[in-house]
Amino acid sequence: MLSFLIRRLLQTIPTVLAVVLLVFVLFSVVPGSIASTMSDDADPQVELRLKKQLGLDDPVYLRFGTYVARLATGNLGASFRTREPVTTMIAKRAWPTLQLIFASMAFAVVLGVPLGFVAALRPGGIVDSAAMVLAVSGLSLAKFWLGLLLMYLFALKLGWLPSFGYGDGGGKYLILPAVTLGVSPMALLARTTRAAVLEIMTADFVRTARSKGMSEVRVVKWHVMRNALVLILTTMGLQFGALMGQAVVVEKLFSWPGIGSLLVDSVLQRDIPAVQGSILVVVLFFLAINLLIDLLYGVIDPRIRYA
Amino acid sequence: MTAAPLLEVEDLRIDLDDGARRVAAAEGVSFRISRGETFGLVGESGCGKSITALSLIGLLRPPLSIGSGVIRFEGREIQHLSAAAQRDLRGNRIAMIFQEPMTALNPVSPVGRQIAEMFVLHKGKSWREANQLAVEALASVRVPAPERRVHDYPHQLSGGMRQRVMIAIALACGPDLLIADEPTTALDVTVQAEIIELMRNLCAERGTAILMISHDLGLVANVCRRVAVMYAGRIVEERGSADIFRAPAHPYTQGLVDSLPRLGSRAALGRTRLKEIAGVVPAITSFPDGCRFNPRCAQASDICRTNAPTADFLEAGGLVRCHHHA
Amino acid sequence: MHEPRDRAVERKPDDDVILSVEDLAVHFPLAGGLFSRDRRLLRAVDGVDLTLKRGECLGLVGESGSGKSTVALSILGLQAPTRGRIVVDGQAVTDGPSSDRKALARTVQIVFQDPYASLNPRQTVRRTLEDPLRVHGVTAASEIEDRVATMLRHVGLRPEQAGRYPHEFSGGQRQRIGIARALILNPKIVICDEPVSALDVSIRAQIINLLLELKDTLGLSYIMISHDLGVVEHMSDRVAVMYLGRIVENGHWREIFERPAHPYTQALIAAIPDPLRHAPLATTGGDLPNPLNPPNGCAFSPRCRYAEDVCRHEPGPVLGTRPDGHTVRCWRADEIAGSGVLAATE
Amino acid sequence: MKLRANLVIGGALFALAILVGLLAPWLAHTDPVLDANLMNAEEPPSWTWWFGTDGQGRDIYSRVVYGARISLTVGIVSQLINSVIGVALGLSAGYFGGWWDDVVNALTNLMLAIPSLIFALAIMAVLGPGLTSLLIALGLTNWSFTCRIARASALSLRSQGYVQAATVLGYGDFRIMFTQLLPNMLGPLIVIGTLGMGSAVLSEAALSFLGLGVRPPFPSWGSMLSEARDQITTAPWLSVFPGLAIFLTVLGLNLLGDGLRDSLDPQSRSRRT
Amino acid sequence: AEAQTPRKGGTIRMTAPYGSSFTSLDIHTTQRAQDEIYAKALHRSLYIWNSAEGKPVLELAREDVVSGGGLVHTFKLRDDAYFHNGRKMTADDVIWSYNRIMDGAKAYPGARYVRVIEGAAAVEKGQAKEISGLKKIDDFTIEMKLTEKVDPGFYFFTALTSIYPADEAAKDGFIQKPIGLGPYKFVEHVPGSRIVLERWEKFYKPGKPYADKVVVAVMGEAAARDVAFRNKEIDTSVLGPAQYVAYQSDAALKGTVVEVAEVFTRYMGMNPAFKPFTDKRVRQAINYAIDTDLIINKLVKGKAYRATSWLPLTSPLYDKEMKPYAYDPAKAKQLLAEAGYPNGFEFEWTTSQNESWGLPIVTAVIPMLDKVGIKAKVKQVEAAVLSEVVRSGDYQAFIYSQQTGPDPQAALKCFHSATPQSACNYMNFRNAEFDKLIDEAGQADDIAKRGQLLQKANALLYEEAPVWFFNYNKAVMAVQPWLHGVQLNATELTHQNVEDLWVDETSPAK
Ligand SMILES: Nc1ncnc2c1ncn2[C@@H]1O[C@H](COP(=O)(O)OP(=O)(O)OP(=O)(O)O)[C@@H](O)[C@H]1O
Ligand SMILES: Nc1ncnc2c1ncn2[C@@H]1O[C@H](COP(=O)(O)OP(=O)(O)OP(=O)(O)O)[C@@H](O)[C@H]1O
Ligand SMILES: [Mg+2]
Ligand SMILES: [Mg+2]
């Protein structure tokens, strides 16, 4: 188990390096630079000094070399913009993003999985049709539009929830962004769950269970759920990646102080170390979640063993 | 044997709803099984053996359904019983073994638990007791070290072991009837021999009747006292197994027996050209009129093409469904 | 039918042998599933010697997983052997899939078990039969059409049916198409990997007869892989029995079936139920061993009722030759031979 | 192929979107770009202005109609690029195996690990806003699922009898890949392609929102929606119509994808990839 | 409403609308308008902008005695200004801060202002350790020698030149918990979300500040800000054109709108190196061809003032007599014909996506230019790219918003041929007559004389039309009725001297 963990962790290194290289190469050819975004009309002398100070004049391979060398010591460099260490910057942003992502996933699971189950138990029925129309609709909405509509409805018209911000860090601030972000994984989970349950319901071992004289409820409880979980977990793992992407939009819309909004700002302002660092952290997060999910597979599915 | 039959199937018809219309996937199926008897049902792939078996324990799922006919278990009609009453029978009084031991067991549940479920469902045991009983059940199907094996998952067992587990599940509650749907098709011959012997011995000990389904004539002949041969949804011949292959009455049975390259026949008779049955097995949606075997039958006459033959009861016992039977 | 094949082959002394397999081994490194670290070795085929003579049918029997198909795939160049040498009609094919595939294709062909999976569902029968000809440089449209039509007739189909797709045919007909495809390039050797086991029982005889006829009319050599001993006995001239990646017995069909010398062969024969015989099936005891963890000594020893200490010792027995000329891999063959024939005939 | 409700409705919605795009010059009332008359700015929907006008006095109806062209181009072309990349990599990886498979696998994992929207954002920053950039950005970032499916199909098809037979018959690798493998994996690829088009349309909107969208002379629905978001309370028609256009088109694509999946592969509904 | 007496206590909830984060808590490093919003509460500079008078006034100094032919300023510093750790500010802090800003290795943007002190440039280049023109006379007196005859107020009022506590700021960790002289002291910063500040009891203005707490929330998304403002979650919100109209037409919100002409000029710059634009007539033709008023009224929704020349409405030297170019396509055509382009020409117009002076404007102008035969092709770039394009001269035309105040002299100097393109002479303007006017103004001791010269230069620009004069920004902010004391700051409306703000009891904030 431990050696499995270590091996998996080692396996992520090439991915991480590739990400670093990719982002580095991309942003070494990106037009515009931090210096030009500092203000509309900056002092050209200061700008030149700034470029020099930030090493923007060095050749790419040199910059990359220094970056990787520093990275090896866990140093993500200093932000061009704030001159703070990127690690500190990200550390401050990580918790809000984690809150948001996990809250959305929780919303998605709590709503999506039961919905999928209910739909699958009577395929073609009214509940099924309604649930699936809902699910497909959830997938088809532009996130920021949905967020705005929710904001408009629940904050302004109904006055139930605050419309923006991290507030005092309290849960009520989390609800609208989490729901906005959670709608599409919810929809996907509902569909996956439904499909998984339907598929499993046709499996031979379900027929065996029925031949034992088991009621349908028991069949589902004893034999279908756990099998479905494997498929549901897979979808969840992949959805975490999509969530990290969509978080960029949602965080920006709701002024949520997470990595996503940091990332957009950094991209737009050419704060390359911050971009690099944020993407790296997002990737690491995705890899970590999927590692976790792999471990969970082992718990759920005995066919998978970590030798 | 004079006792009232354990299972009586009369004129069973199974409908297949293919969206546009209903076709009979099986029809006019009648047979009886007495207590403790071994009864065989043979036929080629798709002739309706499995659906007949499933209909007996109420496991047909749409698009299949029982169209008409009566199924009596211990004299009681069971095809219209409530779902709950059917569940009481299922597994408890009538048990079933399936073909694919790999997929018929839940891959994520330990085999011990899958056996124990039977005791919880039908004997009102607690899980604790049930687990204990599961060990015994596993021991009874001669799985070595059963107290360890109960914790194994299906994928950790070989095919033969899995099928033993299936048998343990099926026999857990001491059913009166065991339906074995091709229990050894997926296994190698040497393993098949063991499983069949095991099943036969256990059932003999407990007085459990067996409905043995197979496409292997040799196997059925060996295991069963009486055999029914199905073709295209109908039983065409039903006889004692000693007679049916030695002196087949129906041209189809005859054709099957003749077409098989039997072990030892080349040594005895030299290599002769195998007798073929012409043509192909008809599709369920395009069964021919009259006798369904008529397009492939050398003896077919006009009547065969128009009228479905009725069951002729033979003097020597059994029945045959042929206008021209021997 | 026989066109002169333009291949310069130095005729060897043993001109009769069209295919020889020497010490073939195929080992699969198993990653042990996605998550496990240890890389175990599955010895699917482990030191197999075979020869096939011109015009002969060699039966290959053995339980599931004993390596029969793997031998076949190696001969076809689809599976690179771990070691060993395969010579087909004077040419070595042991270099794996990349060695001259086309030349090999004109020599060895295969008929698969599953008539459903072995035809491309998106190609008409005509396309399935024409493409190989084109690949092999036959370009004249009339010749292609001719050969396709002839071949279809050979396998008992009508040339008009060539425009149809596989799903429009029954299982038996599909198997005929499969056979036609195997023969369209006029190969010398055809490997039949369980050609009838997926077919309806009432159809099997048709295909077996067809295969035997074609063998004679086209002068083919067969390797016939099957579980069904009845089929093997009916078709084969010689029979090789495999157990866990090795040949345990090899000889003339009559010797194998009438005087099986290996306990496994005996058990195999004894376990076959016969419709006209009503005896309890002879049981062997024990399950197939795990190929990843084969027993020490003779691989069959854990299931063998004759096994003694010597059988359980490393290394396993070697192939020995019986007086009647067939070979057996058993320490106690001399004692056992003949004693286990209880089942062969009634 | 049984006609399913989702197939019919989805197909109809998508076909409608395509038709609107194709017939834009005939359907539109005015030129979507040049007919800007500031005198008519921000008229609510009426008989003259079906969907109202925008801040520049342009007819939103005409812009939505022309927007179909851009949005569908984005959806279709970027997904085509994805499909070509994904199929080429996945098919060859599954077929050849070995080190190439490892390389492709590593690439796919890499693509999966970077959320595609973020990757597209970075590419857009490099290439600058615009239609071509967008097509490239979305086309390069979303092929991992296609690739996985193609690879998995190739792997399973590779051991199918007819593929082995083709090898035994001496077919070349490319012939095998194109005549034996590709046609038999098209079903799931079409399904995922359909779904991918929908998500590309949504990604375009998201990128517009983030300030890196497409702003060619003709409007895209995403950019219209994004631009109108400040006026969602004051001039809702500005966002409602492009928003609905996106919603209905993506809905159509999703339904179509589902329907195709059910019809092409009734046994395994949405198996995991 | 101002008749009420200010209430003590309460929380002021401001918003920072320009992006989704603050750049840095080290205000010396950032010159984004966004950051100065909180800096106004936290820090103080030598001068401060007085919105009522429209000019910078002394803040940390009580008097400024000018000598040395206008180049030497002697400041008497206040002796009651305390840093938030309770230490009194002295001349050393001022000198230390200015020295810090000139640290060449760090490239602080405030260097452009401090450089006006003699010897500062040497520090920047690393030739000296301390600015030679800056002398401590005693703890509360400093002498500053300038390189030019300018009003130092314009140079030392922004937060970029905030005074830091010398010793404390040198320590690590200062930036995590910054200390300043402003009316509010730092409590917390949630990056990407908000900065919270609380009243500094020892602030030097008696009775001020009023509110207990100031929260500056980062809210880049206008749509979200709109909802939050209507939902009474924030006290101030900057409005874009669309919302400007909407708020004005909404009875409930109408009273919340405050507006001011900001010192920004929006224009289309034309590259004189691009053939047609070398000709003054072509440039004028463009000014005639565009119905600027229509665009301002309809597209910008009146949220701008028509530009008459370079210097904006709130500039002290704004010339009320000047009339903007009339909308006269015929005249434009005629001018084009005279210049040799009777059939017009085609050019590429680089723009960002900014809603007030970017793509939407360009889109609206294109059909107008089209009417006189000029075809414009849009090239859209990101904001980050646009400013580089502009500085490098890599454009045919671009549209931009440039700060044109508060110092008119500095604003006009951008067009001096000695000003490099990369500084702010983006159109690479070269005109001897103009140079002469600017130079003379620089020498003039008499303020009125200087003003006349500069106005002349401004008029010359109008005539030369190096740009299409579009508009001066009208900054609009919505302010909740319970927030009082908002100043109409023409340099940037969001920059409020927070000590003058107060909230009454009707504020829903705790
Ligand atoms: N769920 C189903 N939907 C549609 N047709 C079905 C279904 N199940 C069975 N059938 C059809 O009913 C007929 C009888 O099937 P059945 O499974 O009973 O055959 P069988 O005799 O058991 O064959 P095998 O030897 O292959 O198991 C076949 O033609 C089959 O295609
Ligand atoms: N590509 C492969 N990778 C790993 N293991 C393989 C591979 N191909 C075959 N094997 C293993 O090699 C062994 C021999 O397989 P093979 O298919 O040759 O057996 P067989 O005798 O043909 O069996 P069957 O009668 O079931 O067809 C089996 O244990 C099988 O699991
Ligand atoms: Mg069956
Ligand atoms: Mg095989």
Facing D234 at nearest CB: one of E242, E366, E382:
E242
Q: Which of C226, C287, C300, C342 to mutate to test the interface with B (most CBs of B within 10 A)?
A: C287
Q: How far apart are CA B239 and CA B225, in angstroms?
A: 9
Write the residue with the smallest CA distance to atom 18 of ligand 2: C67
Cut 0.80: pTM above it:
yes
Q: Which of A30, A34, A49, A53 to mutate to test the interface with E (most CBs of E within 10 A)?
A: A49
C7 has a pLDDT exceeding 70: no
pLDDT tens-digit profile of E425-454? 999 999 999 999 999 988 887 888 989 999
CA angle E219, E220, E226 (to 5 degrees): 65
With a 6 Å cutoff on the Cβ, whether B323 touches ligand 1 is: no
Q: Which of E380, E389, E395 to mutate to test the interface with D (most CBs of D within 10 A)?
A: E380
With a 6 Å cutoff on the Cβ, whether B55 touches ligand 1 is: no
Atom of ligand 1 minimally distant from the CA of B18: 4
Facing D230 at nearest CB: one of E242, E294, E353:
E242
Chain D closest-CA separation from residue E362 CA (Å): 11
Are D27 and E354 within 8 A, CB to CB?
no
With a 6 Å cutoff on the Cβ, whether B223 touches ligand 1 is: no
> Along the 326 residues of chain B, how does pLDDT read in single tens digits?
445 789 999 999 999 987 778 888 999 999 999 999 999 999 888 889 999 999 999 888 888 999 999 999 998 898 888 889 989 999 999 999 988 877 899 999 999 999 999 999 999 999 999 999 999 999 998 888 899 999 999 988 888 889 999 999 999 999 999 999 988 887 888 888 888 888 988 888 989 999 999 988 888 888 898 999 999 999 999 998 888 888 888 999 999 888 888 888 888 888 888 888 888 888 888 888 889 999 988 888 899 999 889 888 887 778 999 998 76
Chain D closest-CA separation from residue E38 CA (Å): 25
With a 6 Å cutoff on the Cβ, whether B64 touches ligand 1 is: yes
Task: Among B42, B50, B60, B97, say which to mutate for ligand 1: greatest number of ligand atoms within 8 Å of CB.
Answer: B50
Q: What is the pLDDT of residue C39?
A: 59
Q: pLDDT category, C5, cuts 50, 70, 90?
A: very low
Chain A closest-CA separation from residue D256 CA (Å): 11
Chain A closest-CA separation from residue C35 CA (Å): 5
User: Cβ–Cβ contacts within 10 Å for residue A202, how many?
Assistant: 12
Task: Tell me if chain A has a CB within 8 Å of the CB of E106.
Answer: yes
Task: Tell me if chain D has a CB within 8 Å of the CB of E228.
Answer: no
CA angle C322, C323, C327 (to 5 degrees): 20
Q: Does the beta-carbon distance from A302 to B155 stay under 8 Å?
A: yes
Integer-rounded Cα Rg, in Å, for chain D is 21
Q: What is the pLDDT of residue C41?
A: 82
Q: pLDDT category, A24, cuts 50, 70, 90?
A: confident
Q: How far apart are the first and last CA of chain C?
A: 43
Q: How far apart are CA E117 and CA E111, in angstroms?
A: 10
With a 6 Å cutoff on the Cβ, whether C241 touches ligand 2 is: no
Contact between chain E and chain C (3 or more Cβ pairs less than 8 Å apart): no
CA quadruple C83, C88, C90, C91: dihedral, nearest 10:
-60
Atom of ligand 2 minimally distant from the CA of C71: 18
Name every residue whose Cβ is closer than 8 Å to that of residue E491 and which is 6 or more positions away in sequence: E49, E262, E263, E405, E406
Name every residue whose Cβ is closer than 8 Å to that of residue E452 and which is 6 or more positions away in sequence: none
- Going from the Cα of E105 to the center of ligand 2, the distance in angstroms, rounded, reads 70
Q: Does the beta-carbon distance from C119 to D162 stay under 8 Å?
A: yes
Q: Does the beta-carbon distance from D272 to A192 stay under 8 Å?
A: yes
ipTM of the complex: 0.84
Contact between chain B and chain E (3 or more Cβ pairs less than 8 Å apart): no
Share of chain E above pLDDT 70, in %: 99
C345 has a pLDDT exceeding 60: no
Query: Mean per-residue pLDDT for A270-295?
Result: 88
Q: How far apart are CA A193 and CA C275, in angstroms?
A: 49
Q: Does the beta-carbon distance from D128 to E382 stay under 8 Å?
A: yes
- Going from the Cα of B286 to the center of ligand 1, the distance in angstroms, rounded, reads 14
Q: Does the beta-carbon distance from A140 to D271 stay under 8 Å?
A: no
E466 has a pLDDT exceeding 60: yes
Q: How far apart are CA C164 and CA B175, in angstroms?
A: 50
Write the residue with the smallest CA distance to atom 17 of ligand 2: C69
Tell me the C-alpha to C-alpha distance, in Å, between residue E243 and each of C332, D55, E263, E294.
99, 12, 21, 18
Chain B closest-CA separation from residue A89 CA (Å): 44
Task: Tell me if chain D has a CB within 8 Å of the CB of E353.
Answer: yes
Closest to A147 (Cα-Cα) out of A51, A305, A260: A260
Name chain C's partners: 3 or more CB pairs within 8 A: A, B, D
Q: What is the pLDDT of residue A59?
A: 82
Q: Which residue of A has its CA nearest to E121?
A: A45
Chain B closest-CA separation from residue A118 CA (Å): 19
Chain D closest-CA separation from residue E65 CA (Å): 50
Classify each residue of A256-289 as buried b or exposed e, where b means 16 or more C-beta atoms within 10 Å of its C-beta.
Answer: bbbbbbbbbbbbbbbbbbbbbbbbbbbbebbbeb
What tokens appear for B275 in the block?
């007798």
SS (H, E, C) chain D: CCCCHHHHHHHHHHHHHHHHHHCHHHHCCCCCCCCCCHHHCCCCCCCCCCCCECCCCCEHHHHHHHHHHHHHHHHHHHHHHHHHHHHHHHHHHHHHCHHHHHHHHHHHHHHHHCCHHHHHHHHHHHHCCCHHHHHHHHHHHCCHHHHHHHHHHHHHHHCCHHHHHHHHCCCCHHHHHHHHHHHHHHHHHHHHHHHHHHHHHHHHHHHHHCCCCCCCCCCCHHHHHHHHHHHCCCCCHHHHHHHHHHHHHHHHHHHHHHHHHHHHCCCCCCCCC
- Going from the Cα of B51 to the center of ligand 1, the distance in angstroms, rounded, reads 6
Q: What is the pLDDT of residue A305?
A: 65
E163 has a pLDDT exceeding 90: yes
pLDDT tens-digit profile of D98-130? 899 989 988 998 888 888 898 998 898 888 888
**Paired residues of B40 in beta bridges:** B212, B227
Q: What is the pLDDT of residue C31?
A: 61
Q: pLDDT category, C95, cuts 50, 70, 90?
A: low
Q: How far apart are CA E450 and CA A189, in angstroms?
A: 72
- Going from the Cα of C75 to the center of ligand 4, the distance in angstroms, rounded, reads 14
Kindly tell me the burial class for residue C1, based on how many C-beta atoms sit within 10 Å of its own C-beta (0-12, 13-18, 19 or more).
exposed
- Of chain B residues 27-86, which have a CB less than 8 A from chain C? 44-45
With a 6 Å cutoff on the Cβ, whether C28 touches ligand 2 is: yes
Task: Among B51, B100, B213, say which to mutate for ligand 1: greatest number of ligand atoms within 8 Å of CB.
Answer: B51
Classify each residue of C144-175 as buried b or exposed e, where b means 16 or more C-beta atoms within 10 Å of its C-beta.
Answer: beebbbebbebbbbebebbeeebeebbbbbbb
- Going from the Cα of B66 to the center of ligand 1, the distance in angstroms, rounded, reads 14
* Lowest-pLDDT range of A113-117, C163-167, D43-47: D43-47
Facing E242 at nearest CB: one of D55, D211, D215:
D55
D270 has a pLDDT exceeding 60: no
* Lowest-pLDDT range of A47-61, B233-247, D88-102, D146-160: A47-61
Q: How far apart are CA E310 and CA E293, in angstroms?
A: 17
Q: pLDDT category, C346, cuts 50, 70, 90?
A: very low
Write the residue with the smallest CA distance to atom 30 of ligand 1: B46
Share of chain D above pLDDT 90, in %: 29
Task: Among C68, C113, C228, say which to mutate for ligand 2: greatest number of ligand atoms within 8 Å of CB.
Answer: C68
Q: How far apart are CA C18 and CA C97, in angstroms?
A: 20
Q: pLDDT category, C339, cuts 50, 70, 90?
A: low
Task: Tell me if chain A has a CB within 8 Å of the CB of B266.
Answer: no
With a 6 Å cutoff on the Cβ, whether B43 touches ligand 1 is: yes
Query: Mean per-residue pLDDT for C27-49?
Result: 73
Task: Among C42, C73, C247, say which to mutate for ligand 2: greatest number of ligand atoms within 8 Å of CB.
Answer: C42
Query: Mean per-residue pLDDT for D153-159?
Result: 89
Facing D115 at nearest CB: one of A191, A245, A264:
A245
Q: pLDDT category, C2, cuts 50, 70, 90?
A: very low
As residues whose CB is below 5 A from the ion ligand 3, the structure lists B 50
**Paired residues of C22 in beta bridges:** C85
What DSSP state is assigned to residue A157?
I
* Lowest-pLDDT range of B170-174, C171-175, D127-131, E131-135: D127-131
Q: How far apart are CA A192 and CA A188, in angstroms?
A: 6
- Going from the Cα of C19 to the center of ligand 2, the distance in angstroms, rounded, reads 22
With a 6 Å cutoff on the Cβ, whether C67 touches ligand 2 is: yes
